[in-house]
Structure 1
Amino acid sequence: MLKCFSFKSSTSSPTIQNPSQESTSSISREYHHAVHTTSFSEIRFNVEAQAHHLNPTRERVQQALDHFNPDNLTRLFSAFFDHTETASDLCLHLHRCLLRARALHAPLLDLFQSLDPSHPSQNDCVRALDLFQPFHTLPNPIPDSHTFSAIRADLSVLKTTLDHRAARSLRSLRLSRRLFRGSAICLVVVAVAVIAATVAATVHAVVAIAGSGAGFALPVCASEKRELARLRQLDAAAKCAYVLSNDLGTIDALVSRLRAAVEGDKVLVGLGLERGNERYLVEEVIKQLWKSHQGFLRQVEDLEEHIFLCFYNINKARLLVHQVICTDSTS
């Protein structure tokens, strides 16, 4: 006989709570636990070894969605996997931009390592001017800010839709429970009335009522099981969409800061090229570039770290939602 699901909190089944009502701190803490317990070097090694491949792949995702068709949830989860794939592609593009930024600055960094930036010589100034021209001519490899604005908006809309659908599942579960309880009370009343009417037919009446009650309870419990599965799926996707949107927002801010730093270096280099015949000014440009390059390297490393962590989080999110879908679809 099918066991009815309890609405009480337990370790094996979710509480009947609206996922949108959970605190953002608990969402981030739960989702990022794996990231915080994994060394960045390990994450970076795994991502580079996989060449930023999505996990699960598009083919595995499609196979799971082909066997998954509760109402219109397939469209929502298909959108989730599409958005995470887009985010991964943007992160990959951004990482390539970082590689170009390193290459752009590499000649200047080599120059700084071969001189005393606080006291550059005349020869140092001549060498610097030769390097300033290509640096100033080449475009800024760091993309415009708000690189992830569109995909963040998509994830935000998707999370809202998932939350609304989860609220519907929540209402359906509560209604199902009330109907089940009301049906049980009606059965008891009918049984008492039949017993009071005729003692002779008691055994047959009770058997008939019990059989009728069992036939009604089974579909109700099956419905509850399906709604609980949907709630788990919706909750997992909503949490992941929320956290990934925050990750991309952080990266967007770092991109904006780094692009501004490169633009600032270009302004300095342009000033040096315009006044190349004034040694004192060129010396000052070299000194300021040396100082700014220390910050540039830190910003590049910080942004690169967040990109690799975002790659890790994207795959973690996809695996989590894929696993919940496959588990509940086969249970």
Structure 2
Amino acid sequence: MLECLSVKSTSRSEDVHPNSHPTQSQGSSADGTPRSNGLRSPIDIDREYRNSLYTNSYNEVWTRIQIDRSDSHDQEVEIQHQESIEERRERILSRVLQPNQEHVQEALDRARPGKLISLVKDYLGESHRTTALLLRLQEGVYQAKTAYDPLMEFLSVLPSEAGSLTESHCHRAYHIFAQFDARGDPFPCPPLNGFEQMRCKFSQLKLYLDNRIKRTHSRAHLVRQASSRPALCLIGTAVAAAVAAAAITAHSLLAVVVAAPCAANYLRTPSNFAKRELARAAKLRDAVKLTYALDKHLETIDPLVVKVQTRVERDKELIRMGIMRGGDPYPIQQVVKHLRSNPSDLLDDLKHLQEDICVCFTIVNKVRSLLLEQISSDHTIAS
């Protein structure tokens, strides 16, 4: 599986920082302009995970996957005659992946070529390939559940003591075990290094966006400073002129002094350019954080697949040994005893894997939307 991953990464409750440097979080300056407070902005992956489970986008993805999974047999047979497996997956992806490839290509075609556009294009293309891998894993989860459902149902009606199985129980167990053994591996082609390219594209995009956010805040800071300097000059000039001109009355001098702070407040207001750049930086920061969350979820999926696959292979080996001697009660009893030892572990792992896959779909869609919004809002965007 992914060489850079560790089984320790399966933890769902960790606070991680998308940036090695202090992250600038949104706030408001005295003049009403967003500004940075210089504090770190950690991403609580556990909180993001829980929140994702209750979003409309997550529910939409879940529903679309379930609809495709629950198609009637007649529909599946008809579709299989008309399209290949890969074509079927592309059809499902076109329904789940949003914005779709057509909208993505339109936005990229309108954008001015540059470093950012190149990185976004690579990232969006890789996100399509990654979601295709996620869809294959989702199919594997469904196949694993289909294989284990009759097995678990049969175990639930057997006597609590494996040694008290009757001949009828053993005969029935033999046939169910044989059916389980005849099924293929639900994860025959694990995503070996499948997510590595996605995570590599993430690193490149994140580095560029981090630098772009810094430059944006620097420009906005310079604009604020520049806007305050003319006001100070105006005050000094007005006071000097008032003192030098003997013809100016005390009433006129008072008017100048009162008007000067008003002019200063007006001139301190940042330009629309600064506001627009800061708003864009906030959106880019959201994209960085979401992409980082996606990276961490991809990091948890691979070892979870390894764990499930190991369990399935171990159960298959044991069941195969149990049916080698026909309906002999003793090996059947031993298999039943083993399968009953931790039946919920596998089901929980499959549930977590399915949720992680759906969360990844949801985050991918959010990041795609944010990036397309950025490059579509200004066709002249350049590196």
One fold, TM greater than 0.5? yes
Q: Quickly say closer, same or farther: Cα 1:277–1:158, change in 2 above 3 A.
A: same
The offset of 1:164, in angstroms, is 2.4
Helix, strand or coil for the counterpart of 1:15?
A: strand
Aligned-partner Cα distance in 2 for 1:174–1:75: 28
Per the TM alignment, residue 159 of structure 1 is displaced from its structure 2 partner at its CA by 2.1
Match of 2:101 in 1: 58
Match of 1:161 among 179, 196, 208: 208
Residue in structure 1 matched with residue 350 of structure 2 by the alignment: 300
Q: CA deviation digits over 1:215-251, x for unaligned, max 9?
A: xx9xx93653453244134212212201212222333
Cα distance in 2, alignment partners of residues 173 and 36 from structure 1: 36
Higher percent of residues as helix: 1
Return the match for 1:240 from 290, 293, 313: 290
SS of 2:96's partner is coil
Tell me which of the two structures has the higher relative contact order, counting C-alpha pairs closer than 8 angstroms and 6 or more residues apart. 1
Unmatched tracts of structure 1, length 5 or more: 1-6, 200-216
Identity, % of aligned positions? 31
Query: 1: CA distance between counterparts of 2:31 and 2:99?
Result: 27
- Note the C-alpha offset of 1:287: 2.3
Q: Deviations over 1:113-153 (max 9, x none)?
A: 66446333234334434444564465432354765344234
Code of the aligned partner of 2:205: L
The answer as to whether partners of 1:76 and 1:162 remain within 8 angstroms in 2 is no
Q: Which of the numbers 188, 210, 221 marks the counterpart of 1:174?
A: 221
Of 137, 148, 166, 1:105 maps to 148
Scaled by the length of structure 2, the TM-score of the pair is 0.62
Residue 36 of structure 1: SS of its match in structure 2? coil
Aligned-partner residue type, residue 99 of structure 1: Y
Out of 85-94 and 295-304, give the one that drifted further: 295-304
The 1:44–1:31 alpha-carbon spacing in structure 2 relative to 1, beyond 3 Å, is: closer
Q: Please, what is the CA RMSD of the aligned residues?
A: 4.5
- In the alignment, the residues of structure 1 paired with residue 123 and residue 229 of structure 2 have an alpha-carbon distance, to the nearest angstrom, of 38
Structure 2 residue 128 is the aligned partner of structure 1 residue 85:
yes
Matches within 5 A, 1:130-141: 130-133=175-178, 135-136=180-181, 138-141=183-186
Give the count of matched residue pairs: 309
* TM-score of the two chains, using structure 1 as the length reference: 0.70
**1:176–1:224: 8 Å Cα contact kept in structure 2?**
yes
- Are residues 1:128 and 2:149 paired? no
CA contact (8 A) 2:159 2:165 kept: yes
Structure 1 pair 96–282 and aligned structure 2 pair: CA distance change class (3 A): same
Gaps of 5+ in 2: 1-26, 69-91, 247-266
